[in-house]
Amino acid sequence: MSQVRRVVVDTDTGIDDAHTLLYLAGRPDAEIVALTSVYGNCVEEDSTRNIGYVTRLLGLDVPIARGAAAPLKGDPRIAGHVHGGDGLGDRGYDRPLPEVTGETGAELLVRLAAERPGELDLLALGPLTNLALALRIDPELFTRYRSVVLMGGSGPYAEPGTLLMIDANVNNDPEAARAVFSAPRNELVMVGVNVTGGTILGEHAIAALGAAGTPRSRFASEILEAYLDFYQNEWGRRIIPLHDPLAAGILLDPSFATGWVDGPVNVVTDGFLSRARLMRTVNGLPPAFPYHPAPDTRVITQVDAARFVADFVEVLTQ
């Protein structure tokens, strides 16, 4: 068995976040050591309630802290049209608020890193507001984590004429994302929509989740309906991308990433959307405009999607 990764998860607990927690809990080389909530897929209170529901399902007793309910500036964008009003597809689950530490999410991120420097990995699955607030407390925070892996960003500039899915986690709080990508770090890995959007859970895999019959697989299958309702409008098929689970997979097994570029990431806007971009074109050249220097981020550009999807299904159905 490979070395166990002890993971702190910052999550806006929607459907693929819940799948990610199931995946982490099922991997023998992962230990979830704490969870922090943030708005995004649902409001922050629902995110916390969903953390409580999933941890009870898993029999997991770890510190939970409530995090940011809104971005650093402006009002939150809530993706209820994707994840259902409650974040878990409106299945009617009993979701009482779990016991929390009394700290903010940012305070818990800082405390754990100070108590266990170099031991923990931070996995960020939602808007980066908690991480930015934590950096205000400790600007060297990311140097105290073994690694920081985030689901967000859009990779390098794409081939001309190519369109990408919305980079929702960055678009929900671009100011927080700027703080994250400019902060000192040991290792910061960006798993963006350029690779998650093509990592597809297809019809056969979805059927396998439903047929497995374990409490975890049944839950994973049940909450998919709202997600499938949304993504069928993208491809005309009831299939989904594994956004957040892929980030967890790469944290645990970097060989799922088959291509990457280390370089500066900036948050840029076209006036409508904000995206985190590696400041390189598809040909590896700098963009045709000035950009802000930043420490290198490992930007994932290619993945072994088939191998990851097979591992994800195996873990959730075992």
12 is catalytic: yes
DSSP the chain: -PPPEEEEEEE---HHHHHHHHHHHH-TTEEEEEEEE-SSSS-HHHHHHHHHHHHHHHT----EEB--SS-SSSPPP--HHHH-TTSS-S-----PPPP--SSBHHHHHHHHHHHSTTTEEEEE-S-SHHHHHHHHH-TTHHHHSSEEEEE----BPPPTT------HHHHH-HHHHHHHHHS--S-EEEE-HHHHTT-EE-HHHHHHHHHH-SHHHHHHHHTHHHHHHHHHHHHSSS-EE-HHHHHHHHHH-GGGEEEEEEE-EEEEE-SS-EEEEESS-TTSPPPSS-------EEEEEEE-HHHHHHHHHHHHH-
- Written as six digits, the tokens of 289 are 């405009």
Contact 15, 88 (CB under 8 A): yes
DSSP 113-179: HHHSTTTEEEEE-S-SHHHHHHHHH-TTHHHHSSEEEEE----BPPPTT------HHHHH-HHHHHH
Which residue is catalytic, options 16, 121, 173, 243? Answer: 243
Which residue is catalytic, options 10, 12, 167, 173? Answer: 12
- Written as six digits, the tokens of 273 are 């959307």
Q: What is the CA radius of gyration of the chain?
A: 18
Catalytically annotated residues: 12, 243
